Chains A and B, each alone.
Chain A
């Protein structure tokens, strides 16, 4: 598999699994896709192309134990399953273009790969702030190398850190920085409360209080207008005119899907890559998407396609997409094979000494939020409803809260689908 144009014709209709599947993206989604292709019976070649130099590793610790110096980088690597031992990994290589009609992808080393099946697993990159000021001292946290670079800058004496964005990653970074002993930690966000978009006001207020009690400062209800500094950042200029002194800045203001390489194929790439309810892309049987980049309808909810940036999604989507792809390539009935995709989304977030654990889609029910168990001062389980139906449950606190939330998980699993 090192020549220029390679790959054989798929054994369509014959039920055999020959040919090549190319997986674009070499992180968790790419790994799970490769493993699940084998589990789905694909015995042909599998080539994973990933632009990072590393084998797949686990990202959640980057903003937590890695940043805190409590998890060595080497401890993050996933161990690929034995069944995927013959998968070819082309790391440090970027897919720069795709021609779905011809079934080829072009790589940044000048080569072209032919494929019979293609898995889109290129994930996200951090969105950057576009405002005036120097770049040095400004960080994002998505990769191993990002986390390492940030950690090196946080460990000096008297560091003042400003985190832009009070979402999950921003709040995790702020909490970890306090734990690291960073002298001043301030989180800026135009919204009035941390994590308020997905979690609503009730938990937003509880989280603000917990963070403040543990030493995080907040500048809420105002955005960033620019950065001060000559060559390197020395301060953050807020939209309300205040200037926060800063030695280090972390920008955690959302993410952008890595889909440019799919341009020119007539696909819907508005926010990630649109798939059908089998995770197939562009109505084709030979292309599927997995992980953060996939914008899929969830048969459990209202049928509106959404991307879901949770750790559980690469694994869930890979299981389903691999079956659909193998069925599509071997001529089996792909509509019958895996059935519509209907995962129960779940995520967690560790901050300071507490954990958030979520099941379902709380963001769909933030108009009607009620405490189901406990109280916001201590361990609490919150329920998110729409049209009288429970659509999400979030536990905040210690293990007791998580155990209580797990009871409601069963209820979420039993809920009938939302009507569009």
Chain B
């Protein structure tokens, strides 16, 4: 499963980190980092992360 975050939209709310901590994280400056090639087993978590992103910046492809 391919995860795409529109970094032009992202405003570092961090809600995705709570929903899918294996895929999303915030670095020391509070900026988002993520795994773009996520394990299929994490699909539910990533879908939840996409739902809770206030900027709707997360997309799942495939």
Contacts and interface: CB of A to CB of B under 8 A. Distances in A.
B18 A409 contact: yes
Contacts of B12: 399, 402
A400 B54 contact: no
Contacts of A32: 51
Given A315-B51, A399-B29, A399-B30, A406 B56 contact: no
Interface string A130-144: 000000000000000
A312 B13 CA distance: 12
Contacts, number: 36
Contact of B54 (A79, A348, A409): A348
Interface in A166-216: none
A402 B30 contact: yes
A311 interface: yes
B14 A402 contact: yes
B52 A79 contact: no
Contact of A58 (B17, B30, B56): B56
Nearest to B26: A403
Contacts of B31: 399
Interface of A: 32, 58, 60, 78-79, 81, 311-312, 315, 346, 348, 350, 357, 398-400, 402-403, 406, 409
10 contacts: A60-B54, A357-B13, A399-B26, A399-B30, A400-B30, A402-B12, A402-B13, A402-B14, A403-B14, A403-B30
Interface of B: 11-15, 17-18, 26, 29-31, 47, 51-52, 54, 56
Given A348-B13, A406-B17, A406-B26, 4 more contacts: A58-B56, A78-B56, A399-B12, A403-B14
